[in-house]
Amino acid sequence: MHNMTGMKVLNVSYNELTTVPKNSFPKLYELHTIDLSYNKIKTIYNGVFQVLFSLRFLDLSHNSLKSISSSMFGALPTLLMLDLSYNNLSDVSSSTFTRFSSIRDLNVSHNHLTKIFQIPPSLSNLKLANNSLESISDPSRSWPSMNSLLSLDLDYNKIGDSLGRGSFSGLLTMQRLKLNYNNITIAPWAALSDLSSLQYLELQVIKIIYPYTNDLYVPITCSQTDCSKKFKCWS
């Protein structure tokens, strides 16, 4: 690609790539979109994307990444969207994304994450569905005081009834929250009280059947008296 300095879009999806080596993108100063999805990538050379001064969209979904260190991406000040969904990620360094000063959309759904990393202040939409999150253990670190998060998808995790006051502290701009299929049995109203801008809530609670009577017990039901009309809740 040494003679393709004017390239703007690179699509190498659906191949058998296993690594992104050093000097993969020489002098591609106008390249703004890279699609590496549906490969078998396990290794990315540290800082390989940092030479791309126009990079805005990076798709690494459907690969075999297991971990991401803070030095793998480095600073990517122009990046707007990063898709890491459908990998095998179990470890993401807490500060991995903090040097993405312009990012708006981050998708890390369908992985094996057990804790939430620190979000960059510019982030608007975060997808963490289908992971193994059991709690939001350090909200002050995950949610910096100055952030722009509007939408958070936590569907299909293992959060249960761990949410409490402060779990979402600092998310003053968030408008949409998804908590479906998390084995929640008690409405986390204390945690939700911190979300002053919330407009749309999806919260599906489990149904418990008593073993001896076969009676169905629904811990949470939503009506106009106990659930604001702007929230979408069901049981």
CA dihedral 84, 86, 88, 89 (to 10 degrees): 30
Same-domain pairing of 84 and 196: no
Same-domain pairing of 222 and 142: yes
Dihedral of CA 149/151/156/159: which sign? positive
Greatest alpha-carbon span in the chain: 74
Same-domain pairing of 142 and 32: no
Give the pair of three-digit tokens for residue 115. 């804790």
Residue 207 has what pLDDT?
A: 56
DSSP string, 105-161: EEE--SS---S--PPPTT--EEE--SS-------HHHHS-SS----EEE--SS--TT
**Domain of 38, in residue numbers:** 1-89+105-112
Residue 1 has what pLDDT?
A: 61
Nearest to 59 by CA among 35, 25, 79, 77: 35
Is 2 domain-assigned?
yes
Residue 229 has what pLDDT?
A: 39
Return all residues near 224 (Cβ < 8 A) that are at least 6 apart. Answer: none
In the block, which residue shows the tokens 């009577």?
213
Q: Looking at residue 9, which CATH number applies to its domain?
A: 3.80.10.10
Same-domain pairing of 70 and 137: no
Same-domain pairing of 141 and 79: no
pLDDT by 10s per residue, the chain, length 235: 656 788 999 999 999 999 999 999 988 999 999 999 999 999 999 999 999 999 999 999 999 999 999 999 999 999 999 999 999 999 999 999 999 999 999 999 999 999 999 999 999 999 999 999 999 988 988 998 889 999 999 999 999 999 999 999 999 999 999 999 999 998 899 999 999 999 999 998 665 444 444 443 333 433 323 444 345 554 4
Query: Number of structural domains, the chain?
Result: 2
CA angle (51, 53, 58) in 5-degree steps: 85
Structure pTM? 0.88
Residue 3 has what pLDDT?
A: 65
Same-domain pairing of 2 and 75: yes
